Structure formats: structure tokens, C-alpha cells
Structure 1
Amino acid sequence: MSPSALYSGTVYHERFRPTQHRFSYQIHLFWLNLDELERLESSVKHFSFMHRALVQFRSTDYLGIHNGNVKQAVLNKIVQLGGPSFKPAASDNGTADMQPACEVCMLGQLRTFGMYFSPVNFYFVRPAGASLFTHMLAEVSNTPWHERHYYLVDMATQDDTQKAFHVSPFNPMDMTYKWRISQPAAKFAMTMDCHQQDRDFSAGLQLHRAPLTSQSLKAALFKIPSMTVKTVTGIYWQALKLWLKRTPVYSHPNN
């Protein structure tokens, strides 16, 4: 079982064409085993998934669900995208256990001080008894449109994905995503390169893991009180820089 944790480190974006531009920020992201929420509720001060708190895992913030189980919503979305169905496990007497035969962990942002926006959350799925995560579901959100889209990545093959969702007005739609994703462990790295004919843009994470405790949560909030504020501010600040560099702008395809 992968215990819940805090990942801290760097997110970076680098643009190669037609405008050169690079930035990086220090961030923290939560690694939540979705079977551990009740334990975290009782053991981590200022965290809750049932009530308002300084840091809250609110199920309605994820996967567009209005209520219910985020773990099951992840599994349902994987099936909708053509991925495998994680069936209940067979017990020793040949009957089926009630719990899905898999582990789902989320790497993403939580509601902090009542505010929430996350440009992307990642859900890693591992079958029962497996040592490696087999699939990653990326939940991508855009601003100011507040739309969502989902990409499913097989961790074994990490096949290229055609872009199907408008996020940055400085990237066209006709792009291909090339993924490089490590297995979540003491260190975690992810790179997503965006290609037309050559590599035009790259985004990535370089993170290290620490246990999620009352003390580590307090330290993370002291360093970055609100990832939501930092994220949204950074998005518009970097957009202004790109605009001043006269980077071509692509309108939302539905406009």
C-alpha cells in the first residue's frame, strides 16, 4: 500500500517555438491514497474530507462529480476512456470481496483556506498485489473556462496522446503529447513534451516525497499558504509575459 504523503519540488515550463520562454516554481502537491481518507481525518491536524478545514479534500472538486466516491469515479472514467475494468478480488473461499482489487492514489492540489483550482490532477492506479502502478489518469482543467478533460496513460507503454483540449491560448490544438512518467516513489519525475513536427513546448515536475503529518502540512502551508493563489497568479503573469513577447494567440475552438 502506498501511504499518503506530501510531494515538494519544482514545476517547470519551457517553450522552444515560436517564442523562447522558460519558468519554474516551487510547489507542493498532495499524494493521497483514496482508501486512507478516514485515517488522515483523525491523524493530520487541519486536514479533513468530511468538514471544512484549512486543507480540505472535497470530493466535488474532482472529476465533475456532485457527490459520491472519487475512487470509484476514477475507475469509471478509466473504463470510459477504453482502459481496463478493475474487478473485485476473489477471496480464499472463491467469493468476491466488496472492495475493488486496486489502489488509487491522487497527486494534486486540495482546497486550501476555502479556495481551489488545480490545472491538473493525476490519479495512479495499481492492481491488488502489483508492485507497480499500471495506469495514470490525468484530469486537466482550464481557466477562465473551468472545463475539464481526461487523458489515460498506460504506464508500461506511455503512448503518445493527441491533444484534445484547449488549455493555453499560446498552444495550438494540433499537437501531440509525449509522456515520460516515473513510478511514484521517494522521488518522482514527469515530463510532457508537446510536438507538432518538432518539440515546441515541454512541462514537467521534479518532486521528492515526505510523510503527510500535522507537522509536514504546517511546514508546507508556512512556505506556500495557498497553491491555488500561487497557481492562478502564475498562469496570468506568465501569459502576460508571452503576450508581451508577441507569442501567437490561439482562440478557444468553441469561440
Structure 2
Amino acid sequence: MEALYLLASLAATLVTSAFQSLLLFLRLLFQHRHDSGGGCADGAARLYEGRVRHSRRRPAAHAFEYPVRYALVDLDRLPLPDHLSADDARRIVSTSGPVRLLTIPKSVGYAQNPLSIYYCYDSAGQGQDGELRMCIAEVTNTPWGERVMFTFQPDSDLVAKPLHVSPFMDMLGNWSIRADAPGDSLYVVISVQHPTLGNYFTAALHAKLVGQTSNSLRLATFFWLMPHKVAAWIYWEALRLWLKNVKFLDHPRYLNLNYRDEALKRDLELRSSCSFLREQKANNQRSSSTDEKSEISDHLDNKGNENLTRRWCVWRDAQWPWS
């Protein structure tokens, strides 16, 4: 059933995208010569071009990269459907400044966004973002369309894996994640720390700022077929992994209905352990493994043990027929 649905969905997407691409071409043909928002310096969306790199070291070596385009959207000026609003994000992370969403916008009727990030700033002077205080990750898996959103510290954080992202990875790893404040360039990196495979997988995004806009037509042309290309790369690399005899794993819901609760429990234990190590560092307790402790204690939420709470983390279930 799932395979038939996937084929039917692919056919429907091709037809819909072809029709909407024709409409986009007609809009371009009849647009006015004066593009009032296409090149404005204070556009609601900053446009980035870069590359995504994946590197797997075990159980089979596999690496690839592909070009990608992203938008960094000021959600106060340009709210996006199917995403958090700026007010929602501020309420979740308790900030008062701008909220900017790094994402690949929907293109000609199709959306494909493995990772989006909300950058939440403290308030500052007029025209200034202030300090980047907290991030919210929005991870969507393919082809199921499930989504998880969780908070993380932008400079460095360690998160117990909460979502079955790839059928070639189990749920035992932790995600080490870092997202620098975007400017003329941006950098995001996630590595998987596994209890038996070690640090065996890394995904990184490097991108450069290439423009700004508030014009919907420029956004539509800049991201034309970008989600489709990302989906094609995902399925192509999955096929290559399968041909390398990497084990295909069923979705954890078939094996353990409580896998989400267990992920939250592991994450709380992880945060407790990191908090303990931070206290050791603050008390200047040294040992032969000081460097290792320093690295781990960077993954913190700036709270002591007595204030440690569960990380904010919510899921969106898959739609039929994946549910």
C-alpha cells in the first residue's frame, strides 16, 4: 500500500508542479519591469546559496554533497504557513526579540524540508537583532512526513534522537548540534553519537548570503524546484546505501510504541549528566579527562541540576497511509 501511495503521490506532484511551473512562467512573462521588492536591502527574506554535505563512516563508508538554496525569513514580517509564528516561537523559548526561520520554501505546490531552524533573539536597539539566545529545530522525515520540533542551545547542544529520520539509522544515537548566528554566511552541523558506532555520521550546511527580497515572485523563481531536487537526492542516496548492503530498519513504531517517551527520558538523563559535569568544571575539579569534560559541558542549557526540566519537544504524526 505504501509503495503504491508513494508512486501515486509522485505522479500527482509531477502534474501539479508542471502546471504551477507554467503559471509561474506566465507571471514572469507579464510582470512589470519595475520589481518593487526584488532587490530591497531590508527584505523580509535573506537568500542563501550553499552546499549540504553528509558523511557516514560506519557500517559502510558513504559521503555525498549537493547544492542547496535556503531562505532566512523574518517571521514578524513574513509569516509562513505550516510553521510556527514568531509569537509562538518567542513564547516557547521566552525571548522578546526577532525570530528568523531558516527553511526551503514550498515551490510550485511541493514542500520538502528535512531541517528548518528558528533563530530566536533577545530584543536590542532598533534595526538590531540582539543576542541569539535559543534555537528551535524542525525536523521532518521522508517519506513519512512526521515532524519533531525541539529547542537547543545554538553554540552547542546534545539532544537524544527523537525522530526516525532515516531507515538506515536506529534510534539509539544522540544528536550533537550547532548553529551559528546567520550573517553574510551561515553554518549548521549535526553529528550522530552512537553507543556502539561512535561518532559515525555528520551532516553540515555551509551557505553564503546572496541577496534579500520581500517579493513573492522573486522567491518563487529563486526556489523553483528546489524541494524537488532535495527529495530526489534523498531517494537517490538511500538507494546507494541499500546497494551497499546497509541494513534497512523498520520504523520504531512497529517495535516500540513508547519510543518517543523513551527519547524524552534519555534526553533528560543526558541533560542531567551534562549539568553534573558543568558543576565539576565550575568547581575547578581537574582530572586526566579534563578536555573531554570541557567538550561535553558545552552542551548545556545554562541551568543547574535543581532547575533541570525536560526539553521542549513536540511531534506531529504522519498522515495516511504512513500513520
Q: Which category describes the TM-score, using the shorter chain as reference length?
A: 0.7 to 0.9
Aligned-residue offset at 1:162: 0.7
Q: 1:62 aligns with which of 83, 100, 104?
A: 83
CA distance in 2, matches of 1:237, 1:72: 38
- Structure 1 residue 30 and structure 2 residue 71: aligned? yes
Alignment of 1:42-81 (within 5 A): 57=80, 59=81, 61-63=82-84, 70-76=85-91, 78=92
Aligned-residue offset at 1:205: 0.3
Aligned-residue offset at 1:220: 8.6
TM-score when normalising by structure 2? 0.59
Alignment of 1:112-191 (within 5 A): 112-129=107-124, 131-156=130-155, 158-191=156-189
Distance verdict in 2 for CA 1:179–1:236, change over 3 Å: same
CA distance in 2, matches of 1:165, 1:71: 24
Distance verdict in 2 for CA 1:207–1:246, change over 3 Å: same
CA distance in 2, matches of 1:161, 1:253: 18
Structure 1 residue runs without a partner (length 5+): 38-48, 50-56, 64-69, 79-83, 87-100
Structure 2 residue runs without a partner (length 5+): 1-41, 255-323
Indicate the residue corresponding to 1:110 in structure 2.
105
CA distance in 2, matches of 1:71, 1:36: 9
Aligned-residue offset at 1:228: 1.4
Answer 1 or 2: which has greater strand percent: 1
Answer 1 or 2: which has greater helix percent: 2
Larger radius of gyration: 2
Aligned-residue offset at 1:62: 2.1
> Secondary structure of 1:174's partner?
coil
Q: Cα RMSD between the aligned structures?
A: 2.4
Aligned-residue offset at 1:116: 1.3
Identity %, equivalent residues: 31
CA distance in 1, matches of 2:74, 2:215: 19
CA distance in 2, matches of 1:152, 1:33: 19
Distance verdict in 2 for CA 1:110–1:3, change over 3 Å: closer
TM-score when normalising by structure 1? 0.74
Distance verdict in 2 for CA 1:24–1:221, change over 3 Å: farther
> Secondary structure of 2:98's partner?
strand
